[in-house]
Chains A and B, each alone.
Chain A
Amino acid sequence: MFDNLPDGSGHFGEFGGRFVPETLIAPLDALTATYSKYKDDPDFKNELEYYLEHYIGRPTPLYFAKRLSEHLGGAKIYIKREDLCHTGAHKMNNVIGQLLLAKRMGKKRIIAETGAGQHGVATATGCALFGLECIVYMGEEDVRRQALNVYRMQLLGAKVVPVKIGSKTLKDAINETMRDWMANPNDTFYCLGSCVGPHPYPMIVRNFQSVIGKEAKAQHLEMEGKEPDYIIACVGGGSNSIGMFYPFLNELGVKIVGVEAAGAASIGKGSIGVFQGTRTYVLQSKTGQILNTHSISAGLDYSAVGPEHSYLYSVGRVKYVPANDKEALWGFKILSEMEGIIPALESSHAVAYLKKLAPKLKKDQTIIVCLSGRGDKDADEVRNYV
């Protein structure tokens, strides 16, 4: 029902597609062809599997958060520990997959965008692993507030290019990376970090990230003998969430909730538009100018959302709710204090929704929360929050 999307030209119902300058059509076609050639190829799958297990450290645990469950006094809460992936976030799942494609395409120059720096660090890591040149575009504002990640990327041998235009955040970094690709379509591979942008990226990123949901589904089945009642994940561009949700979409008894940052709620407060290569929900003015966003978490600070999320919203399969900075900080603190797990501020938005949901459920009901990343990078941001 939900597993035959996108269609051949990258549409999820009325969403998705390919809205890019003609120069990029050929490299996007080449990527699409390479992916469909290798996605079921045994050698490719074995190699991917090898790195997922031995380099990233998969499978990640599905952890029963006993104290938090008792504290909230309702459903049993399980945490999918993507924070334990190498480099500290789920981003690595997609990067390894894409770089294995880049290797097969013979591309040696890798470009990427980054917001909080997690995808930039993951890409720089993968490029070090495979001996590839790495250039990461990052908004000047994010370079300032995520200085540690900038230094990590440099340690890994990547070149970080500060983007000084527009709002100087993630959307501008994506614009600049696409412009680089337009100038160098033949020798360069764009390693895109979220399920956004033109086809085939939303599909490829979803498929590489769906290892999260596949593992969680099997782990939960083993531990509880049934499907969970709810699954929850945070949504910026939406890569950890689509990876978590996708394997559950056809299980109609499983309720699915995506949590957006209140100050960057593309689905909650946006309208349908065409932005950065895709048709999706976008935060925009009445005349169609893209609006800047605000979130305490740089990783959710994005004016649009992956097209498949827009589709899942439009057909009512997934419910999207907002969490504001204050609620996210509650999630950050409660998980640290109750379970000894410091979550990324992005993931803290998903944790925040537990406060509303868990107490309303019965004790034999279960919730899985995707903990997309760890929160070390956010310690300063939280300390300085007033």
Chain B
Amino acid sequence: MSRISDSFSKRKALITFITAGDPTLSVTERLIYDLERAGADIVELGIPFSDPLADGPIIQAAHARALKNNVSLKDVFALVGKVRKKTKIPLVFMLSQNLVEKYGPDKFYADCEKYGVDGVIVPDLTPDEKIEKGVGIGEGLGTGVGKEVDKIFLIAPTSSDERIKMIAKASTGFIYLVSATGITGKRTKSSNLIADMVLRIKKYSNKPVAVGFGISNPAQAREAVRSADGVIVGSAIVELIAKKQYAKVAKFVSALRKAIDA
């Protein structure tokens, strides 16, 4: 059992997203510890990219802030190495396929293992492309490198049953359910699709299902975990970071924790 799937075994998981290097790597380091203390079970680190296709304006802006300091994948691996001396909290990278390929898939997954990155989400890569060409996310280039790293794939409301089955099988650690069509960002109303979608996924897999995209307050988080095994909260946290209200981040995450456990 990986450190990631393990964190679903005790309680409903709270997964928090921040962009690495937003606005600086030292703030990111401090925030990782704060998030853990406030009750996060997993920390997702967005790796800054010039053209984050799946992201809304809030996270796009975070990527742009990090890129002002030229934060690269190499820098974030170094940060993880530093963080690993102080905490074992599962860390997941969320990044575009281009960054993986430019870094070199083998080296990327080898470095995930070396520095202690537990899982990887590549939003613009579906398992078909991996199976088709044998490249990208997965066991490096068939060499077995990165076997210990969880590959977390996304399921969307538009996914057919056939695809749900295929993606659920390919995912390790947990399955990322996109709660609504569209991009990342805050939404006023949680999608009522969540319960239906979780049921559809559970028909094919007993792997944990975490819901993301548009979960932005404790009430929505509470609602989501009635059916799902965990929630992913990103834009609402990143918005506080944009305003440099770092103390509020911990408070907000504590409130999410409380709502989920209630």
Give residues in A with beta carbon < 8 Å to B.
Answer: 9, 11, 14, 17-27, 165-166, 171-172, 175, 178-179, 182-186, 272-277, 282, 284, 286-290
Which of these, A19, A22, A182, contacts B97 with CB under 8 Å? A19
Chain B contacts with A in 88-123, Cβ cutoff 8 A: 96-99, 101-103, 123
Knowing A18-B129, A273-B101, A273-B102, say if A23 contacts B157 (CB, 8 Å): yes
Question: Are A175 and B132 in touch, CB under 8 angstroms?
Answer: no
Knowing A11-B133, A19-B124, A166-B50, say if A288 contacts B157 (CB, 8 Å): no
Question: Are B158 and A290 in touch, CB under 8 angstroms?
Answer: no
A-B contact pairs, 12 of them (CB 8 A): A20-B124, A21-B154, A23-B157, A24-B158, A25-B128, A25-B156, A25-B158, A179-B182, A179-B183, A185-B181, A286-B102, A288-B102
Which of these, A24, A178, A182, A288, contacts B98 with CB under 8 Å? A288
Question: Are A165 and B60 in touch, CB under 8 angstroms?
Answer: yes
Knowing A23-B178, A179-B183, A274-B97, say if A290 contacts B156 (CB, 8 Å): no
Closest to B72 in A: A287
Closest to B182 in A: A183
Question: Are B53 and A276 in touch, CB under 8 angstroms?
Answer: yes
Closest to A172 in B: B51
Question: Are A289 and B50 in touch, CB under 8 angstroms?
Answer: yes
The answer to the question of B57 belonging to the interface, with a C-beta cut-off of 8 Å to chain A, is: yes
Question: Are A25 and B126 in touch, CB under 8 angstroms?
Answer: yes
Residues of B within 8 A of A184 (CB): 181
In the bound assembly, the distance between CA atoms of A162 and B155 in angstroms comes to 31
Closest to A164 in B: B57
Q: Which of A172, A183, A273, A287 has the most CB atoms of chain B within a 10 A radius of its CB?
A: A287
Closest to A290 in B: B50
Closest to A179 in B: B183
In the bound assembly, the distance between CA atoms of A165 and B124 in angstroms comes to 20
Number of interface residues of B (CB under 8 A): 41
In the bound assembly, the distance between CA atoms of A290 and B124 in angstroms comes to 15
The answer to the question of B74 belonging to the interface, with a C-beta cut-off of 8 Å to chain A, is: yes
Question: Are A18 and B126 in touch, CB under 8 angstroms?
Answer: yes
Closest to A275 in B: B98
The answer to the question of B73 belonging to the interface, with a C-beta cut-off of 8 Å to chain A, is: yes
Which of these, B51, B57, B98, B167, contacts A22 with CB under 8 Å? B167
Q: How far is the CB of A109 from chain B (nearest CB, A)?
A: 14
In the bound assembly, the distance between CA atoms of A171 and B49 in angstroms comes to 14
Contact string, B238-261, partner A, CB cutoff 8 A, digits 1/0?
000000000000000000000000
Question: Are A27 and B98 in touch, CB under 8 angstroms?
Answer: no
Question: Are B73 and A287 in touch, CB under 8 angstroms?
Answer: yes
Contact string, B53-73, partner A, CB cutoff 8 A, digits 1/0?
110110010000001000011
The answer to the question of B159 belonging to the interface, with a C-beta cut-off of 8 Å to chain A, is: yes
Residues of B within 8 A of A272 (CB): 101
The answer to the question of B163 belonging to the interface, with a C-beta cut-off of 8 Å to chain A, is: yes
Question: Are B160 and A18 in touch, CB under 8 angstroms?
Answer: no
Residues of A within 8 A of B51 (CB): 166, 171-172, 175, 275-276, 290
In the bound assembly, the distance between CA atoms of A276 and B124 in angstroms comes to 9
In the bound assembly, the distance between CA atoms of A165 and B123 in angstroms comes to 20
Question: Are B132 and A288 in touch, CB under 8 angstroms?
Answer: no
The answer to the question of B125 belonging to the interface, with a C-beta cut-off of 8 Å to chain A, is: yes
In the bound assembly, the distance between CA atoms of A18 and B178 in angstroms comes to 19
Closest to B160 in A: A26
Question: Are B74 and A27 in touch, CB under 8 angstroms?
Answer: no
Closest to A289 in B: B50
Q: How far is the CB of A272 from chain B (nearest CB, A)?
A: 8
Which of these, A14, A274, A288, contacts B124 with CB under 8 Å? A274
In the bound assembly, the distance between CA atoms of A24 and B183 in angstroms comes to 11
Residues of A within 8 A of B60 (CB): 165
Residues of B within 8 A of A9 (CB): 128, 132
Residues of A within 8 A of B57 (CB): 165
Question: Are A183 and B181 in touch, CB under 8 angstroms?
Answer: yes
Which of these, B67, B97, B101, B159, contacts A25 with CB under 8 Å? B159
Closest to B159 in A: A22
Question: Are A284 and B98 in touch, CB under 8 angstroms?
Answer: yes
Residues of A within 8 A of B156 (CB): 21-23, 25-26
Question: Are A284 and B53 in touch, CB under 8 angstroms?
Answer: no
Q: How far is the CB of B135 from chain A (nearest CB, A)?
A: 9
Residues of A within 8 A of B56 (CB): 179
Residues of A within 8 A of B132 (CB): 9, 11, 17
In the bound assembly, the distance between CA atoms of A289 and B159 in angstroms comes to 30
Closest to B56 in A: A179
Residues of B within 8 A of A21 (CB): 53-54, 123-124, 154, 156, 178
In the bound assembly, the distance between CA atoms of A21 and B52 in angstroms comes to 11
In the bound assembly, the distance between CA atoms of A165 and B103 in angstroms comes to 26
Which of these, A23, A172, A277, A287, contacts B158 with CB under 8 Å? A23
Question: Are A289 and B128 in touch, CB under 8 angstroms?
Answer: no
Residues of B within 8 A of A22 (CB): 126, 153-156, 158-159, 163, 167, 178
Closest to A25 in B: B126
Residues of B within 8 A of A11 (CB): 132-133
In the bound assembly, the distance between CA atoms of A27 and B160 in angstroms comes to 11
Residues of A within 8 A of B153 (CB): 22
In the bound assembly, the distance between CA atoms of A166 and B48 in angstroms comes to 13
Residues of B within 8 A of A27 (CB): 158
Residues of B within 8 A of A183 (CB): 181-183
Q: How far is the CB of A178 from chain B (nearest CB, A)?
A: 6
Knowing A273-B101, A282-B98, A284-B98, say if A23 contacts B129 (CB, 8 Å): no
Q: How far is the CB of B176 from chain A (nearest CB, A)?
A: 9
In the bound assembly, the distance between CA atoms of A284 and B178 in angstroms comes to 29
Residues of A within 8 A of B99 (CB): 287-288
